A and B are shown apart, each in its own frame.
Chain A
Amino acid sequence: MRAWLPTILRGLLLLVLIAFLVTPGSFEPLLRPLVQPNAPAIYNQGSLLALTLLHLRTVFIATLVATVIAVLLAILVTRSFGAEFLQLSRSLVNIGQTFPPVAVLALAVPAVGFGEKPTLIALFLYGLLPIFENTLTGLTNLPRSVMEAARGAGMTDFQRLLQIELPLSLPVIVAGIRLSMVISLSTATIGSTVAAKTLGEVIIAGLQSNNLAFILQGGLIVGALAVLIYDGLSAAEAMLTRRAGST
């Protein structure tokens, strides 16, 4: 019974989230106490559902590109011919992480204009590190005897990468993607400062009109998305770990 509780809670969270996005009006009584008598309690400057979908889209695109680049980079620097680039790419990726996303936005706008593009760039740079580091960890900590057997069986370097190294590293790589994605989900809100369509709009509108209900709505939707995606990817990771036979 106990073990089911978290799953049930997550299911409930998902249902509440969907209900809120589809019919925000029905939640008005709950939020009404938070605002001035004649201020709106539900965000009214656009569709919450549409903003949520756009927010997710931005995060997905940024994470996808970050995953492709980070995994390719990690593969490259773990090959014998790429080993000399290991330190260099580590430094580059670390800079991407330490450089504040707001600063990236400020620098990117003059180059690519307002909207989704600077946000994508900021999220991409910010999301590289966890995926890169995790992929490195995965690819460099494979069981020696397994790698030895793969070589001894006559697999080429490429066959070993595809058939052994990547499948066995997959759980760790997915953990990196999960981390990167959750960070991106919250960071994406600041994209609204440069006119990207994200849930940040709701929060900013709340700040400007001193509307606590708006701020709360924006924050809670992002939070709920983060929890659900985190859990979903954790489950995927657990399944992959089991399949990779390490339990």
Chain B
Amino acid sequence: MIEIEAVTKLYDDVAVVDNVSMVIEPRTVTVVVGTSGSGKTTLLRMINRLVEPSSGAIRLDGEDNRSIPGHELRRRIGYAIQGHGLFPHRTVAENIATVPGLLGWEKSRIAAKVEELLTLFQLDPKMFGSRYPHELSGGQQQRVGVARALAAEPNVLLMDEPFGALDPIIRAKAQDDLLAIQKHFGTTIVLVTHDMDEAFYLADKIAVMDKGRVLQYGPPAELVRAPAAPFVETLIGDAERPFRLLSAAKIGAAVEPGEADGEPIGEDGTQQEALADLLWSGRKALPVVSASGAPMGRVTLDALLKCAARPQ
């Protein structure tokens, strides 16, 4: 759990982060959105003390983050940034081994971890471990950057526009991978982005920042249903509202008993995906199956339209 309590950061007497308080639950994905310059990066960097707050406190699992030296704190917290920041003079394996090396892990343990992570990120350890960052594609570099951030098995992973430099197809894949890995390790993720689609797709909770303040902090659907400020509405976009609701909700939540014809869809997908499938195939209902493939019922066009309508 990350507790941010009345945190303020002043640069030249200007509050770049202004009295921000929020509690981030363990094992969730929290996305911080806002326009450029709204203080997202500064807020994120105060969690691992790359920036020291002017006032306020941040606690990790109840412990003040100033209770240990900054560099030791940062070894416990994963950090991934836009443009990956891989060390160009070190191989992929050496890059991933950075934090375990700093923590003094045994060689064999480090090697096992590097191999595990490369495999998890679908990079063949034999082929990629000895390569240098400039020998990888952008998508591969980004995956190695995240793998490096996770190498010491941190409970918390901070990500600053980690997918900002990727093209849309690779970006979508990276987002899916991130969710899978978050499930796998149970990591608490705080991710900064200015891409609202990304925010709605990834977030358990979204924090909207503007001029250093957090205007609203809550589940994606709540932001659509009850925007706390005109700025939040603008950010979500009037024309996008129904689709944001659908993209933030799982198909499983709209399942009803019954039969339907055709290719089934997994309950884990978003309702937006189900709607797209229905519209494109011209059907009125889709069969839904669980992750293991067991039939669960169906999802209908009518049900989805209700889900997308302005909540009462």
Name A residues whose Cβ lies closer than 8 Å to a Cβ of B.
143, 145-156, 159, 164, 167-168, 243-247
Residues from chain A with a CB closer than 8 A to the CB of B83 are: 145
Query: What are 5 A-B contacts with C-beta separation under 8 Å?
Result: A148-B50, A148-B81, A149-B84, A152-B74, A154-B72
In the complex, what distance in Å separates the CA atom of A239 from the CA atom of B98? Answer: 24
Interface flags, B68-87, vs A, CB<8A=1, else 0: 00011111100101111111
Establish whether residues A244 and B86, one from each chain, have CB atoms under 8 Å apart when the complex forms.
no
Interface size class of B (residues with CB under 8 A): 20 to 34
CB atoms of B85 and A149 under 8 A apart:
yes
Task: Evaluate contact between A168 and B89: CB separation under 8 angstroms.
Answer: yes
How many Å lie between the Cα of A145 and that of B133 in the bound state?
A: 14
A152 contacts B89, CB within 8 Å? Answer: no
Partner of B85, one of A148, A167, A168, A244: A148
**Are the C-beta atoms of A154 and B81 separated by less than 8 Å?**
no
Give the complex CA separation of A156 and B71 in angstroms.
6
A109 to B283, CA, bound (A): 99
Q: Is the CB of A154 within 8 A of B86?
A: no
Q: Which residues of the partner chain A approach B75 to less than 8 Å between Cβ atoms?
A: 153-154
Whether B73 and A154, one on each chain, are in contact in the complex, defined by CB atoms closer than 8 angstroms, is yes
Contacts of B76 in A (CB 8 A): 154
Q: CB distance A152 to B71 under 8 Å?
A: no
B165 nearest in chain A by CB position? A145
CB contacts (< 8 Å) of A246 on chain B: these are 88, 134
Q: How many whole Å from A80's CB to the nearest CB in chain B?
A: 14
| With known contacts A145-B82, A145-B83, A245-B132, A153–B89 Cβ distance under 8 A | no
A146 touches B88 (CB 8 A): yes
Known A152-B81, A154-B73; judge A245-B102 contact (CB<8 A).
no
How distant is the Cα of A146 from the Cα of B86 in the complex, in angstroms? 6
Highest count of chain A CB atoms <10 Å: which of B75, B85, B158: B85
In the bound assembly, the distance between CA atoms of A187 and B71 in angstroms comes to 47
Contacts of A150 in B (CB 8 A): 85, 87
B213 interface contact, C-beta 8 A = no
CA distance A159 to B72 in the complex (A): 13
CA distance A147 to B79 in the complex (A): 13
Distance of A156 Cα from B69 Cα, bound (Å): 10
- Please determine whether A154 and B85 come into contact, CB atoms closer than 8 angstroms: no
Give the distance in Å from the alpha carbon of A153 to the alpha carbon of B76 in the complex.
9
Q: How far is the CA of A25 from the CA of B186 in the complex (A)?
A: 81
